[in-house]
Amino acid sequence: MRTQLSFAPLSQIETELLAVLAADTQTSKDADAKPQPVLLTTDPAVQAAASSLLASGEFKAGANETALLHAPAGLAAKRLLLVGLGKQAKVTANSVRNAAGTAVRFIKPLGLRELVLSLLESDPKTLLHTASVRAAVEGAFIGDFDSDTYRSERKDQSVESFTLAAPANADKTALQAAFDEAIIIGESQNFARTLVNEPGNKLTPTLLGQRAAQMADEVGLGWEVHSTEKLRELKMGAFWSVSQGSAEPPALIVLRYEPIGLTSGPVLGLIGKGITFDSGGISIKPADKMEEMKTDMAGGAAMLGAMRAIALLKPKVRVLAVICAAENMPSGTAQKPGDVQTAMPFSPDKPGKTIEIINTDAEGRLVLADGLTYARQLGATHLIDAATLTGACVVALGHVNAGAFSNDEDAWAKFDAALTISGEKFWRLPLGEEYAEMIKSNIGDIKNTGGRWGGACTAAEFLKVFVEDTPWIHLDIAGLAWAEDSKPWIAKGPSGVAVRSILEWVRSYE
């Protein structure tokens, strides 16, 4: 998608479609109070073109509500699209992000290939122009993604040109910097979505390793991709146990970002679950919706997307990523409930933890256990992992929030602050000795499930065993990695959740 930032007057911009944002200024708490929509632009020609529609009451400026005007009088644009942000008092940068995505998705089925979106001129809630620019561009990229990659007669509806129109008196340098940054972030999130969208036969662990290496070469990251022999050399018994039931070999993907001349300070470790297909193994899943288990590598994809953005935005902090990719399949060589596996030891003088396998479908925490240990061994001083880990987290939070856990208040404070920039929704859930007791094993050190209740918390406690005292955040993204239904601003399918939040968490350590 071609992108540009324009400072020309809105009325003079020649385009197939000009989109302008609007908000409802009604503040009354009376349920019968009528909305009072206003356009968030000072351009008199645009105001005049939309005046009749606004006066009619047909358009209320609700969140992501749209209204289209053809041949608007006084404008060079052929069409004028109004996009609502909702109540003015509740407008955030994420409202702008979703509105931009809504505008892009609105024009795609119309066969239009170019869009000009007006940046807020009348700032409804002291939003910084730079924050609005970034949100709008990210939203445009998010809205342009569709998942119908393999249709034999696919009709490409991609938007070819996106222009963001900013006020002429704005700080052009600052806005251009935010604009350029947002392109990188939007493309990186869509890179992660592309990976999650791939079927299991088109993205095996080996192929995921190849895609990661190709991306790393393109953006200048250091990389290594290992397989079975390396897992055995490192004594990654937990990771290998998941792989052993599949004919497809595992892939241990390591990426490194090292700013030139930086030799001190924290080393941030990004660890991703990369189960390219999860049948559940011997504890096989129900057939219904098993096809969606191609998405069980969304945590790994999020880390790859974040690393792409990190490489291009160049924060002054060292970062490494470890993605543990495997298939979890049932076969004569698959691990069985009741087996005992030995995880990777952190050092030669410390034995690896022994894990009793209660349920082979609790495999994500097994690969992450060795991934977290390996990241620490490689020098990571702070850890963050992402995984589509538990259905229990979806039961607790639905498809509204993803789950988050942390053993360190400073690390969590940085992540919580990152959410105000990313606009993503995570809810912190508890850790505690009571949950740790639930995963103690009678035959080994720990078991890989703690029973039905508190499943997201016991899974997090399992991972906590392998981070020890290292500052750590765990993201359980099972509920948000795949959009079950299309929304005005995003298509049904992979969401790329966590890419933006992980990036901002990393940047907070500069």
What the chain holds in terms of domains, given with CATH numbers, is 2-152+160-167 (3.40.220.10), 190-507 (3.40.630.10)
List alpha helices for 117-275, DSSP H. 129-144, 172-197, 205-219, 228-233, 237-243
Residue 11 scores a pLDDT above 80: yes
pLDDT in tens, 167-189: 888 889 999 999 999 999 999 99
- Closest to 296 (Cα-Cα) out of 322, 324, 319: 324
**127 — pLDDT class (breaks 50, 70, 90):** low
- Element spanning 56, H or E: helix 44-56
Q: What does 372-411 look like in DSSP terms, one character per residue?
A: HHHHHHTT-SEEEEEE---HHHHHHHTTT-EEEEES-HHH
For residue 233, CA distances in Å to 166, 240, 246, 341, 428 come to 56, 11, 20, 16, 36
Active site residue: 193, 365, 414, 500, which one?
A: 365
**What average pLDDT score do residues 191-217 get?**
98
Q: CB–CB of 377/346 below 8 Å?
A: yes
Express as a percent the part of the chain with pLDDT over 90: 94
487 is catalytic: no
289 is catalytic: no
The mean pLDDT value of the chain amounts to 96
Task: Supply the pTM of this predicted model.
Answer: 0.97
Active site residue: 60, 78, 256, 285, which one?
A: 285
- Unique residue bearing structure tokens 């977290």: 372
- Element spanning 55, H or E: helix 44-56
Cross-strand bridge partners of residue 432: none
* Paired tokens of 404: 């988050």
Taking only Cα atoms into account, the Rg of the chain, rounded to an integer number of angstroms, comes to: 24
Provide the pLDDT for residue 30.
83
**28 — pLDDT class (breaks 50, 70, 90):** confident
